[in-house]
Amino acid sequence: MEWSDDGTIIGVRHHGENAVILEVLTRLHGRHLGLVRGGRSARVQPVLQPGNAVSLTWRARLDEHLGEYKVELITSHAARLMAAPVALYGLAVISALLRLLPERDPHPALHEGLAVLIEHLDELTLAPALVVRFELAMLAELGFGLDLTRCAVTGSPDDLSHVSPKSGKAVSRKVAEPYQDRLLALPGFLSEGQGARQPSAAEIAAGFALTGFFLRRHVLEPRGLLEPPERARLLELVARIH
């Protein structure tokens, strides 16, 4: 068995004396693991860093085997990301979520979204909002997508302000008014047509609260998991800077 693909490294763990098991979100083969012999050497180790874009060739005798990777660097992002706390926290959060995907199940939209996110993950003014959007994409890919495009009651796309915790659908401000204590806030930067506006710290917090609610309900709690601690640290960092 053999294939070649491109991907972004999301995890590395030691295996034996010199090898590592590399975890990559690939374009065509989803989240895929493979053994890299000599992966702890001084020459190879800088390539095998989370966030780096790589070209891979995977080989195994049988498809169900772990297999071995041959890896070539496409773009090195690791040094830039390691220099920015917002990038370290953001990458940890996203990698933890990506590990919930079934192994070897293709998710090309997430692959493309991750590549865009990595390019801007060290930019404090952009990264937190991009992480929220990526969490929304994760919910959609896992079958729990939210409908934030129009009001669940009126069908109008205008003046959306809240989200129903039961249905995951947006609600307009007028409809939401009597029920605000039972609804989740929908920050403006997630409303259609407002992506260019710089969100405030309060809006970022509302975005993380929104995605966090549905991630806990549908993804984490059914697996007996907690949110990665880096998620709270990312929010603390955003609050301090803003």
Residue 197 pLDDT more than 80?
A: no
Q: How confident is the model at residue 242 (pLDDT cuts 50, 70, 90)?
A: low
First to last CA, the chain: 51
What is the average per-residue pLDDT within 97-111? 96
Q: Tell me the backbone φ, ψ of residue 224, rounded to 5 degrees.
A: 70, 30
Whether the model pTM is above 0.85: yes
Which of residues 201 and 22 earns the better pLDDT score?
A: 22
pLDDT of residue 239: 85
pLDDT of residue 192: 60
Residue 169 pLDDT more than 90?
A: yes
Residue 168 pLDDT more than 80?
A: yes
What is the average per-residue pLDDT within 133-160? 95
Which of residues 14 and 198 earns the better pLDDT score?
A: 14
pLDDT of residue 198: 79
CA 108, distance to chain mean position in Å, is 13
Task: Please report, rounded to a whole number, the percentage of residues in the chain having pLDDT higher than 70.
Answer: 97
Query: Are the CB atoms for 84 and 54 separated by under 8 Å?
Result: no
What is the per-residue pLDDT across 155-166, written as a single tens digit (0 to 9) for each? 999 999 999 999
Angle, CA of 211, 168 and 238, to the nearest 5°: 20
Domains of the chain: 2-76 (2.40.50.140), 81-148+186-241 (no CATH)
Q: How confident is the model at residue 199 (pLDDT cuts 50, 70, 90)?
A: confident
pLDDT of residue 196: 56
Q: Read out DSSP for 14-35? A: EETTTEEEEEEEETTTEEEEEE
d(CA 218, CA 105): 19
